[in-house]
Each structure stands twice: as C-alpha cells, then as structure tokens.
Amino acid sequence: MVMIKQTTSNGDAELLNVLKTSSELEKTGGNRTQAEANLKSPDGGDSSTFLTVKILEPVESDSGTYECQILYLDNDKDIQNVVSSATVNVTAVPPPNFVPQTSDSCECEDIMSEIDAIKASLASGGPGAAPTSTECQVSFSAQFQSRNGYLIEDDATAVFDSTTSNKGGAYDTSTGEFTAPCAGQYFFTVVMRSHQDMDAGYVDAVLKVDDSEMARTSVFTDSAISNMQQATTGSIVTLTEGQKVKVVIQTTSSGELIGTEYSVFSGFYVSP
C-alpha cells in the first residue's frame, strides 16, 4: 500500500492518495498525483524497490512537504515500511511581456499601398531606381576591320576601327577610345590575338583608364619562331564623366595583330 501526504507551509496536512500495489510496476492517479512503485527487481533481487510520485499540472498551492510511505510484506510475511519526503516549491511563471497578435485576415490593402509607393519611388528616380537618363546606358563591341595588316608596335593604342555594336556612340573608331558619358561603374573586356613573326619576346594588350593600367593580356615566346597566340582579360572600373578607356600594346617582339572576330574590345555601363 502507498500513501501520499502533503503538509503545506501553514502546517496543514492532507492525505492526497492511498493506493494498492502488486509486486509488479503499477501506475495510478488521483488528486493530480501519480505514483509508480516496484517491490521486486526483474531479476529477483531485492535492491530495486522504489516509489516515484508525480504532481500533474502543479499550482502554487501545491507547495509544501510531501511524504510518501509504502507498506509491504516481505518474503517472511513481515510488514515493512519505507518512508521518503521532499519539499516542493511551485512558483507561477509570469506571462511574457509581448504576446504576438495573430489574425486570420490578410491586410491586403496595406500591402498593395506599400507596393504602389515603391513603384512610384522607382518611377520618379528615388532610392533603388535605375538612372532615368538614357545617356548613361551605353555599350559597345569593336574589332579590327581586316584580319591582317595591323602591325605590333610598342606603346601604341590599338585602334579597333569597326564596331558590331555602339549604343550611345561612346566609342570612337578613329582613336580607339571609349569616353564615359557619366560617372559610374563600367565593365570592359579585351580579347587579343597576335602573330609573332620569327621574333622572341612578349606581346601585351593593356586596358588603360587615361594613363592608369587596369588589366592586361600577355603572351610570350622565348624562341625566334612563328608564334600565334590569343589572350583575354576584363575588369570593372569606376569612371568619372569624360574619362577615357583604351587598349595600349606593350611589346618586345614584332609581327601583327589578327583582326575581325579574333581581337575584340568591348564594354558597357553597369550602375551609378
């Protein structure tokens, strides 16, 4: 038999539950208490007798000292008594300061108002809007008009004299220079194919902003042989209005640059 008694902080005592047990595990409940008891271990030993009591959904009034007593007959038919006690303090947890408000309805009108405001801001050139001036929206792709006839010369501007595209007209086929129509970020790429005619050395195509080097291609041969190679490079650069971008050849060799689609200078505006 198991008895569960509570003594409150005021000294009031109450017998909460009385239940019978068998030699096997038994669970029972009442008055929000639940007990488990075992008087015999599974292997027949006598060292695993235990009693466990749980309080279900505790409240502050459950605070106090709990005494659990188990009475049982041992193998000699003598009454044995096991008593255990514990002090329990139950404290109410205050609710959180913030309780999220939920709703089954969608505030669609508010969302659409925000979308309309963003669209108006973009249309008027506000934050996040693309430049409204088409002057900045430039791009080009230029190449040598003929396949042959462009001699390799040191420190000479590579004048790509024809374009397959030149939106905005920022590239000049007579000088080989691109002029930035407005300040911002631009991307440029160079593909250069060269033919070194029985002369060792290197051939570089240097991407320059005014006189500053941004990127370069480079090919090299250490033998006086006929050597044909192609290289490419590219870079994003920040330009101010009016700055010029060009390709300059630097070389210690001789020969010619191969034109048409084999050598191409391209660029376009990216963002403010």
- pLDDT, tens digit, 9 for 90 and up, residues 140-199: 999 999 999 899 999 999 999 999 999 999 999 999 999 999 999 999 999 999 998 878
pLDDT digits (tens, 9 = 90+) for 124-157: 655 555 554 678 999 999 999 999 989 999 999 9
CATH code that applies to domain 2-88? 2.60.40
Neighbours of 3 (CB within 10 A): 16
For 139, what's the count of Cα atoms within 13 Å in the CB-facing half-sphere?
A: 7
Separation CA 14–CA 31 (nearest Å): 11
Phi-psi region of 66 (alpha: psi -120 to 50; beta: other; left: phi over 0): beta
Separation CA 164–CA 270 (nearest Å): 20
Q: Where in the chain is the domain with CATH 2.60.40?
A: 2-88
139-271 architecture in CATH? Sandwich (2.60)
Global pTM exceeds 0.75: no
